[in-house]
């Protein structure tokens, strides 16, 4: 497995997962682990929406160093054969509206409390990652390699893309889920579009669909989404799951 493939695999897992185990350091220097909801910025940097009242927030205010375990082993008969990645970095509080919108898009239920005064978005400045892709497939990845390149034009266009797709092309999104991903149900929605793919959600289920090639702007997103719809309409369905 090449370094580029290692980083791509780790990044895809981070993008596809909607929760993680967050480890911070308490006042006595003890590791403190907690479950958090996870979203990511366009470059795959983790985003957390957490309350100032939470123990992990108090820890972050003293020491910004964090470790996030992103687990991709759910449903496997032998979990230790499955993928997981540990992200190490520093969590920095941010008031950037775009990042809050991205988090709430990924986790619609968080809209109920996202604007409370004691809640804030924290963005993790990634320093390195540790990918375990199965027995004996273990790799350290530098932060600069783990993260994707920024795509400011796509970030600016993302709200309009999502509104258009969810408002006018729900049938295509359901095709993505059913035919390309093998997922049942109708009413799937797009919750995010980034340079490498798009995120889908139906109720409590999330899914990840990769683009055929990396994109950087609205026109690239349009071409990729059209190509996926055409592929779905002409392809054999993926096995249901």
What residue segments make up the domains of the chain, in order of their start? Answer: 3-146, 152-234
Query: What element of type H or E holds 67?
Result: strand 65-71
In CATH terms, is domain 3-146 a member of 2.60.40.1180? no
Tokens of 139: 């790799």
CATH T-level fold of 152-234 = Split barrel-like (3.20.180)
User: 31-42 burial, b for 16+ CB within 10 Å, e for fewer?
Assistant: eeeeebbbbbbb
Cα dihedral value 159, 214, 138, 124, nearest 10: -30
Query: What element of type H or E holds 175?
Result: helix 170-175
Could you list the pLDDT tens digit for every one of the 241 residues in the chain? 556 789 999 999 999 999 999 999 999 999 999 999 999 999 999 999 999 999 999 999 999 999 999 999 988 899 989 999 999 999 999 999 999 999 999 999 999 999 999 999 999 999 999 999 877 789 999 999 999 998 999 999 999 999 999 999 999 999 999 999 999 999 999 999 999 999 999 999 999 999 999 999 999 999 999 999 999 998 655 555 5
Q: Please tell me if the domain spanning 3-146 has the same topology as the one spanning 152-234.
A: no
**Spatial contact of 15 and 40, defined as CB atoms under 8 Å apart:** yes
């Amino acid at each position: 497995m090449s370094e580029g493939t290692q980083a791509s695999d780790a990044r895809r897992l981070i993008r596809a997962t909607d929760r993680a185990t967050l480890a911070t350091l308490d006042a006595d220097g003890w590791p403190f682990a907690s479950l958090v909801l996870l979203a990511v910025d366009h470059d795959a940097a983790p985003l957390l929406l957490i309350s100032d009242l939470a123990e992990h927030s108090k820890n972050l205010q003293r020491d910004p160093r964090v470790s996030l375990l992103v687990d991709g082993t759910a449903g496997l008969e032998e979990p230790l054969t499955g993928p997981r990645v540990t992200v190490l970095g520093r969590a920095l509080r941010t008031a950037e509206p775009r990042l809050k919108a991205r988090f709430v898009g990924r986790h619609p239920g968080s809209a109920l409390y996202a604007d409370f005064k004691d809640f804030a978005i924290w963005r993790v400045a990634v320093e390195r990652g540790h990918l375990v892709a199965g027995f004996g497939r273990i790799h350290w990845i530098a932060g600069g390699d783990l993260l994707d390149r920024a795509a400011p034009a796509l970030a600016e266009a993302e709200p309009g893309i999502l509104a258009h797709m969810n408002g006018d092309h729900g049938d295509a999104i359901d095709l993505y889920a059913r035919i390309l991903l093998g997922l049942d149900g109708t009413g799937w929605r797009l919750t995010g579009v980034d340079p490498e793919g798009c995120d889908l959600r139906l109720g409590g289920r999330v899914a990840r669909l990769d683009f055929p090639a990396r994109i950087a702007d609205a026109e690239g997103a349009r071409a990729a989404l059209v190509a996926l719809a055409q592929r779905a309409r002409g392809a054999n369905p993926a096995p249901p799951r």
